Structure 1
Amino acid sequence: MSPTASPGTAGRAGASADTDRWIRRFRPRPEAAVRLVCFPHAGGSAGTYRPWAEAVDPSVEILAVQYPGRQDRYREPGVENIGELADLVMPALRSAVAGGRFALFGHSLGAALAFEVARRLTGGESPDLLVVSGRRAPSLIRQEAYHRLDDAGLAEHLEHLSGTDRRLLADPEALEMILPAIRSDLRAIETYRSAPGAAVDVPVLALTGDHDPWTTLLEAAGWSAHTTRGFDLRVFHGEHFYLAEHQAEVLQLLARRLSPVSELR
């Protein structure tokens, strides 16, 4: 500690550094009415939501979670357990949204993680809304083990999902960098099991593509069993990464639902 720094100052600096490590603000909007905290898909990074930060309604500020093991956190080991990852992100998230309205959005793996984070935020800490995208309800289990594939098989799986730049998949050096984080994330989501009867006291909005091979409409509707508040399901044309095609529609929907008079409340 610097000889001129008080313990309290050092503590605040450390907390700020930890928040910055986990949370990205690509376009700060301190006057925004609500913050939307976004959780990426398996293998994804906070940068996925940079375009959202520019395009969303000015009443909303986008915050994006950066998982270990990618981009500027490349040297950190991935976290292979959804509950553990939720516990790790909690202090930074609490700091980032302190004193204001906020909501949680997660796509694919991010949906399960956002759900677990929402479970940990109770009482006055609860978000206004939980948005789960491209992911079946936690109580609906599929036996999957893509994380056990060899590198060639995993690259082929990613190509099928259409969520990874094909140029990266064709570049051996790039694959060597990205596959460990993807494998770690897949292990986390494929071994994820929620607590029996797990639910949040938060309105839930489920979004999905009508041709998503990894989430059927019935599986997306199953999220209704995991909330004690309002539930709604919105279906978009597209596959697992329908968000890329429907960014404007999704952001407009989220801005409406995050307005002070949402019909889900």
Structure 2
Amino acid sequence: MRHTVERAMAAERSRYRRFWVAEHHAVPGIASGSPPVLLAALGARTSTIRIGSGGVMLPHHQPLVVAEQFLMLEALFPGRVDLGLGRSPAFTAPVRRAMRQEEDPPDRFADDLTELRDYLDGTGAVTAHPVSDRTVPMFVLATGQGLAVAARLGLPAVLGGPLLESPDLAAALAGYRRDFRPSPRAQRPVVTIALDITVADTDEQARALVLPEAWAMARSRVTGEFPPLEPVAAIVDRPWTDQTRRRVEATVRHAVAGTPRTVRRRVEELTERTGAGELLVTTSTYDRAALAASDTALARIIGG
């Protein structure tokens, strides 16, 4: 948790625009069960960088509670708070039960987004406090279906994961841009793409740094639990099944990992293909010094 705060402070020094945190529950390898609590810690140790959620999983929460949390953050750190919202369920059945999720819940995402927006804007059925005269920006972490919701409500969309590799990507983006309804939060379609990006001195070193995350993801498919990251050397020495190897290799292959030149080329290709105006970068590896170096190098690539 302290390292997350340190990383946000370093991101501010490197002139990143935002630092977002995710929401995952009962996951040993991810210390991010409560974005608002973590954001309060980040805001207290930074002064200029925007802080936000990437994102709050709205099906887990009442819209009024989310509005109150982020209005409180906005009051504490005025003009610096973003609210990214997703719809993903909990990863395993026991966690879903602990979150009081129904087996086949009705799709309330669009309605909950609308209700939350109204609370933030002071137009809801009740008044969320603290009242603010500033708008808290909202972003939809979108699958294909989420893109349609974002377009209808006039909200920026954040795309990542399998959708970026899908042959349906172009059609999904075209639909979002075609159906977008201007709103006070966005006058035109706004697209951010989420990428796993790792920068190192060589392509081989960068791919090795992706291995801890790739291994943990592959193991989670077997055990149902995403574990803490391990050193590369320890992973290499472990026995691998053919299925695990295929999954690890697929994750490494899809990651944007390499030298500054390699990464710049891949980023330019993806931004040209998607028309994205902003990158949401997720970099995760066991070696914290290498992680810090990757963050610094990426800031130079994007800034340059």
Same fold? TM cut 0.5: no
Structure richer in helix, relative to its length:
2
Q: Which has the higher contact order (CA 8 A, sep 6+)?
A: 1
TM-score range (shorter-chain normalised) is 0.3 to 0.5
TM value normalised by structure 1: 0.36
TM value normalised by structure 2: 0.33
